[in-house]
């Protein structure tokens, strides 16, 4: 199980990778969403505020009204934010649960795909 400090480290790396990727920023230029994350094993919850493709913050706790809700284990979240797993495979195996529109779910996966094409 990963604690919040590990998640925070992974999220920090993910944020830098997203925000510094010009192609991704252009692709997500019209995408502004609030995302809630829930660790099913530790109960840790955190949020991600995305504004026109830029990740503005990833605070602990659920902030605001979500457009997307993602639930999985803390370990899987860490691996996902470090780009060590392909989220689609785990999603289709039912290991990552998502609530949100199909388009938003694809956009969320597209972030990992653009940053780490080999994931």
Query: Footprint of other proteins on this chain (CB under 8 A)?
Result: 3-6, 8-13, 15, 23, 26-28, 30-31, 34, 36, 38, 40, 45, 55-60, 62, 65-69, 71, 78-79, 82-84, 86, 88-89, 91-103, 105-107, 109-110, 113-114, 116, 118-119
User: Within 10 A of 105 (CB to CB), how many other CB atoms are there?
Assistant: 18
Query: Closest approach of Cβ 4 to other proteins, in Å?
Result: 5
- Residue 111 CB contacts under 8 Å (≥ 6 apart), including other chains: 18, 24, 28
**Whole-angstrom Cα distance, residue 78 to residue 91?**
15
Query: Closest approach of Cβ 76 to other proteins, in Å?
Result: 11
Closest CA to 44 of 69, 62, 67, 66: 62
Query: Closest approach of Cβ 44 to other proteins, in Å?
Result: 9
Say which residue the tokens 């590990």 belong to.
6
């Amino acid at each position: 199980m990963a604690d919040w400090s590990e998640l925070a480290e992974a999220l920090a790396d993910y944020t830098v990778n997203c925000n510094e990727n010009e192609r991704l920023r252009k692709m997500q230029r019209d995408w502004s969403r609030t995302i809630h994350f829930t660790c099913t094993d530790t109960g840790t919850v955190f949020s991600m505020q995305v504004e026109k493709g830029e990740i503005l913050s990833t605070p602990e706790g659920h902030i605001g009204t979500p457009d997307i809700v993602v639930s999985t284990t803390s370990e899987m979240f860490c691996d996902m934010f470090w780009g060590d797993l392909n989220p689609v495979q785990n999603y289709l195996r039912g290991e990552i649960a998502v609530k949100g529109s199909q388009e938003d779910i694809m956009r969320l996966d597209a972030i990992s795909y653009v940053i780490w094409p080999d994931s």
